[in-house]
Structure 1
Amino acid sequence: MRAVVFQGTGEPLSVEEVDRPECDEDGIVVETEACGVCRSDWHAWQGDWQWIGMMPTPGLVFGHEPAGTVVEVGENVDRFRPGDRVTNPFNLGCGSCHHCRGGRGNICERSVPMGFLPIQGGAFAEYYPVRNADHNVVKLPDGVDPVDVAGLGCRFATAFHGLVHRVDVTPGDWVAVHGCGGVGLSAVHIADALGANVIAVDLAEEKLDRARELGADRVVDVTEVEDVPQAVKKHTESSRGADIAVDALGIAETCQNAMNSLGKGGQHLQIGMTTSDEGGQVSLPVDTMVTDEREFYGSFGTPPNEYDEIFRMMETGKLEPGRIVSERISLDEVPGVIENLGDYDTVGIPVCDTF
């Protein structure tokens, strides 16, 4: 089968003929219909995140935001049959640890990230495997376009999990989203669906325009202000500051700006992960966090049991992940799109749907 293959840190990705994945007794094999192209692919290609154990090796098939049709089922799998249309989170759980049993499989003690480690190949390929299928795999509702689902496995689902299950967003809250790439635009759309007043923060006019289309009530162009946190606060009631601030990029500047844009008792949601410049470490205003009782939360993917919540909101039209899809591309175009993500000029989510 054809697949996008990692050749080494910073080395050009290539589309090659590789062996079709084998189906283990607890897993399934899926024929790929769509797979989102994510900035996380770029981070892995650049060699980021070794400090948290994500170390791709040459020969690894990339891709972690999939949707497709089951073609093979392991002998121990009960919930799926060939022909089922499915998706899955990128961070695959074991299904049996304390966190998986408690509905938090996204932080499984033995989590395996799809398309980042050699033991779990990805979905930039004609076929992809999923381990522990009864725990990790999610059936798609009838009529759902796989392209609309392709961003759910990472960006959209991470933003949803964070805003719905990690922080406390209530109607009328001020939510400031710092960084309007794919995950940031997802956060804007989700926060708007939850009834929040949304402030989008970025330096690209095109991304801010898209944020407005997806529900942002106010925007802050960081190229036009000297103090980003104060510019955010001026948009909030009595300039009191944001109730929720989301860092959807993961660089020190956006993380610090997000935290400093909060009001007293505010909650910071960290979705973006850092680059090699930060190495996983960012300094924060600890004393102000103490005196203002500001809280810091992380969101890492989503457990499979939360997908039904997304699907129900899609069914009523409150959530439309497909609106964030920016372009449809072929497998041959994937390497170039990943490599160009370092320019930070992609608006929305590119999705590969031709294999």
Structure 2
Amino acid sequence: MRAAVLKEHGEPLSIEDVPTPDPEPHGAVVELEACGICRSDWHGWMGDWEWLDIKPQEGQILGHEPAGRVVAVGEDVTSISEGDHVAVPFNIGDGSCKQCRTGHGNNCENGMPLGFLEEVPGAFAEQLHVPFADHNAVELPSGVSSVDMAGLGCRFMTSFHALAHRADVEAGDWVAVHGCGGVGLSAVHIADALGANVIAVDLQEEKLEKASDLGATETVNADEAKDVPGAVEAITDGGAHVSVDALGIATTCQNSVLSVDKRGQHVQIGLSTQDEQGMIPLPTDAMVMNEVEFIGSLGMPPSRYDEIFRMVATGKLDPKAVVSETVALDDVNEKLSAMTDFGTVGIPVIDDF
């Protein structure tokens, strides 16, 4: 089968033939119909996250936002069958640890991030092996397309978990989203669907316009504003109830924390780059004086995807609205390179392998 294989960090992925996977007894093989190209793939391509022990090595197949059809299942798999239409979360769990058994599979004690470790080759390929498929393969509702659902592998479901489960977003709350890449635009759309008033913050006007289309009530151009937290405070008459760093650099993290009103919440979705390596200075005195909560959020438990599906069915959520374009596997290097200068808007999705 064809796959995009990492040869050297920062150098073009090699499109080549690799062995087709066979299912482990607990696994399933999915023929890919779509896979999003995420900024997390860019991080892996650039060799980030060594400090998290998830730096992809030479020979790794990247890609972690897959959707497609099951073509083979292992002998121990009971919940899915050949022909089922599924999405697969990037936070692969074993389904049996304490975290998985209590509904927190995104924090599996033996978790493996899809496409970042040798044990879990990714979805920039014609087919994908899904370990522990009873836990990790999420059957999609009838009538939805794989392209529209690809963001459920990472960006869309990550934002949903952050705002619907981790933060206390209530109708009428002000929610500020710092960084309007794929995960940030998803957060804008989801916060709007939850009834919040959304402020989108970014350097690029094109992304702010997209955020407005997705439900942002107000926008702040961080390239023009001298004081981003001050701009948020002025719009909200005191500060946001919830503020999200959807990028993961020091500036957006600090701006987000300082944008929060008294007793508000900062939610950290974005993971950091080589510049920070997981360590960002914070205004701790201001956090103490204002009783600001700092909340981390990772992925989403597979067992709760039905919450998204119910909102999609009633028209409250529309994951395809965040998809910017469809491309071929051969275009993956162009899209990864564009992310170096934040040159993509929304979610590019591979639909031709």
User: Normalised by the size of structure 1, how large is the TM-score?
Assistant: 0.98
1: CA distance between counterparts of 2:136 and 2:198? Answer: 32
1: CA distance between counterparts of 2:335 and 2:272? Answer: 20
Moved more, 16-25 or 6-15: 6-15
Amino acid corresponding to residue 70 of structure 1 in structure 2: V
Once the two structures are TM-superposed, the CA of residue 240 in structure 1 deviates from its matched residue by 1.0
SS at match of 1:116: coil
Contact 1:197 1:217 in 2 (8 A): yes
Report how many residues are paired. 353
1: CA distance between counterparts of 2:343 and 2:252? Answer: 17
Superposed CA offset, 1:203-230 (max 9, x none): 1010000000000000001122111100
Amino acid corresponding to residue 80 of structure 1 in structure 2: I
What pairs with 1:75-224 in structure 2 (closer than 5 Å)? 75-224=75-224
One of 259, 265, 286 as aligned partner of 2:257: 259
Amino acid corresponding to residue 343 of structure 2 in structure 1: D
What stretches of structure 1 of length at least 5 have no aligned partner?
Answer: none
What pairs with 1:62-81 in structure 2 (closer than 5 Å)? 62-81=62-81
Amino acid corresponding to residue 87 of structure 1 in structure 2: A
Amino acid corresponding to residue 15 of structure 2 in structure 1: V
Contact 1:4 1:335 in 2 (8 A): no
Amino acid corresponding to residue 207 of structure 1 in structure 2: K
2: CA distance between counterparts of 1:208 and 1:87? Answer: 29
Amino acid corresponding to residue 247 of structure 1 in structure 2: D
Matched with 1:332 is 330
SS at match of 1:235: helix
Matched with 1:20 is 20
Once the two structures are TM-superposed, the CA of residue 298 in structure 1 deviates from its matched residue by 1.1
Once the two structures are TM-superposed, the CA of residue 88 in structure 1 deviates from its matched residue by 1.4
2: CA distance between counterparts of 1:345 and 1:337? Answer: 8
2: CA distance between counterparts of 1:48 and 1:61? Answer: 16
Contact 1:34 1:66 in 2 (8 A): yes
SS at match of 1:11: coil
Matched with 1:51 is 51
Matched with 1:283 is 281
State, as a whole percentage, how many aligned pairs show the same letter. Answer: 60
Contact 2:31 2:70 in 1 (8 A): yes
Matched with 1:308 is 306
Task: Indicate yes or no: 2:333 matched with 1:317.
Answer: no
Once the two structures are TM-superposed, the CA of residue 11 in structure 1 deviates from its matched residue by 2.2
SS at match of 1:56: coil
Once the two structures are TM-superposed, the CA of residue 81 in structure 1 deviates from its matched residue by 0.8
SS at match of 1:162: helix
What pairs with 1:234-253 in structure 2 (closer than 5 Å)? 234-236=234-236, 239-253=237-251
Contact 1:14 1:335 in 2 (8 A): no
Contact 1:130 1:137 in 2 (8 A): yes
Contact 2:335 2:344 in 1 (8 A): no
SS at match of 1:284: coil
Once the two structures are TM-superposed, the CA of residue 134 in structure 1 deviates from its matched residue by 0.5
2: CA distance between counterparts of 1:56 and 1:225? Answer: 37
What stretches of structure 2 of length at least 5 have no aligned partner?
Answer: none
| Structure 1 outlier segments of 4+, above 4 Å | none
Once the two structures are TM-superposed, the CA of residue 287 in structure 1 deviates from its matched residue by 1.3
1: CA distance between counterparts of 2:263 and 2:286? Answer: 11
Superposed CA offset, 1:285-337 (max 9, x none): 11111111100111111110111000110000100010010010001111221
